[in-house]
Amino acid sequence: MIRGLNNIGRLWRAVRVLARHDALLPREYLAVLPPSLKLARRFLASGRSADRGLAPGVRLARAFESLGPAYIKLGQILATRPDVVGDEVSEALKELQDRLPPFSEVAARAAVESELGRPLDTLFTRLSAPVAAASIAQVHEAETTEVPPARVAVKVLRPGVEAEFARDISAFAFAARLAEKLSAEARRLRVTALVDTLAASVAMEMDLRMEAAAASELAERTARDGDFRVPSVDWTRTGQRVLTIEWIDGTPIRDAAALKAAGHDPKRVAVLVVQNFLTQALRDGFFHADMHQGNLFVDARGRLVAVDFGIMGRIDASMRHFMAETLAGFLSRDYRRVAQVHFDAGFVPATHALDNFAQALRAVGEPIFGRTARDVSMARLLQQLFDTTRRFDMKLQPQLVLLQKTMVVVEGVARSLDPDFDIWEASRPVIEDWMLDHVGPKARLREAADGIEALGRLAQNLPMLLSNAETVSQMLAHGGLRLDPETIAHIAEAQAARTRHVRIAIWIAAGALGLLALGML
């Protein structure tokens, strides 16, 4: 009960901040608002800040920045969902900056010593002032005490950031559950799954050992990729709240002029960004999910170097197959094939006609072919795709949320390097290679080998399976299946807990609705 009231309180604070920035019930929509919402807008004193001359999406971004780290992360996810917030707001949220003032060097030094259990001067001969500060952590340049010293980046978590995020994520989850109880559209969009994805992502970011492990795993998976590199982790100077990793001397890809001055072709770099992302996603099912300009460099050998591994994405084999088949179908303009893949995966209910869905996909795909990236709005394309899935009752797939977010970012990075960039042509070699490897003869041989192995396991377990089958048949013949008394007690206890939790959730939802209703009067 107390947690529910705390969630309502934090949400109410967010409502007031959004209203102050005129981002909750924007004045641009005043003419279509019902009288009750117009009254609520006046009650909340909407639009009494310095943001009056800004567009609605920019005002929303400003509000999220003022609400703090969790809302910044939420805004970054919403930037990939034009189906939820609309094209203009989605574009504005892409400019949301995850930058905060740095915390003190004294606090950073104390955090390093506390986490690593050693005096700072036994770890580093030099620790600079912060070179970057974001919502979760800040980064310092340093040199280690070895001879010769190694130049490293030291990432330190913000003091108290875990508790702050936990409170806001709890409020998000509360609001999402309430929304799904009240709205069929919220259930279709699976807003609770979106919050779960955000929570899982943030939890990983809060433990810098997980980021170190992600960097290590990505380095192993891409070790044979000659055009991509991951900096090495210093595990002896890494803990839950401190990460030490190799310092990267490279040209930032945000500066096309600097790339050219260093002898790199920005158009080639654009292709590298897209192809490495797709290779990681399709081949490995494990990809860097924060590939914006600030996290990508080009080294002296022309390799793409990524930093900041706090947000990583995973896609299981079945989802990778679905993604590759879908992209391959679009590349070959075989829309019926794309439709069939959606139906085979169970993403589109069988109550809809396959050919009708294929026709809808054609309406999305055909306009983009033969046109340069300059002429194609990815936000508008995504909007069409989401409109199509909504029309055919396709539910959001949580695994694809980070993939979609990263795809939008990666395409934007590539376009900034090459205004005429064609993401489809850049993607084609990676997708075709994956299809040959996973749908061609090699895939059939692997499947045959897997089948033989499965038959071997079945043969090993056959005596146990026969014994279990005999036991079950005897129990059925003598009055039915019997459960151990302790098992029955556990089942009853779990059922009672489930019922109790449902009652509590309903009670809290009713209370929240009452408070919201009072706010509307």
Could you list the active site residues?
290
Q: Which ranges of 282-377 does DSSP label H, i.e. alpha helix?
A: 317-331, 335-344, 354-365
Q: d(Cα 410, Cα 274) in Å, to the nearest integer?
A: 6
Q: Do residues 11 and 174 touch, judged by C-beta distance below 8 A?
A: yes
Looking up tokens 């604070």 gives 13
Tokens representing 151 are 């130049």
Indicate the length of the chain as a whole number.
521
Looking up tokens 């170190």 gives 212
Tokens representing 244 are 């030490």
Q: What residues have CB less than 8 Å from 107, skipping those under 6 apart?
A: 159
CB burial class (10 A; 0-12, 13-18, 19+) of residue 485?
exposed
Q: d(Cα 475, Cα 469) in Å, to the nearest integer?
A: 10
DSSP one-letter string for 123-190: TEEEEEEEEEE-SSEEEEEEEESSSSPPEEEEEEEPTTHHHHHHHHHHHHHHHHHHHHHH-HHHHHHT
- Whether cis (ω within 30° of 0) applies to the bond prior to 441 is no
Q: Please calculate the CA angle 39-44-45 and round it to the nearest 5 degrees.
A: 100
Shortest CA distance to 396 belongs to which of 200, 201, 191?
191
Q: Do residues 217 and 86 touch, judged by C-beta distance below 8 A?
A: no
Shortest CA distance to 75 belongs to which of 162, 14, 157, 7?
14
Q: d(Cα 101, Cα 133) in Å, to the nearest integer?
A: 6
Give the CB-side neighbour count of residue 419, counting CA atoms within 13 A: 2
For 374, which DSSP code? G
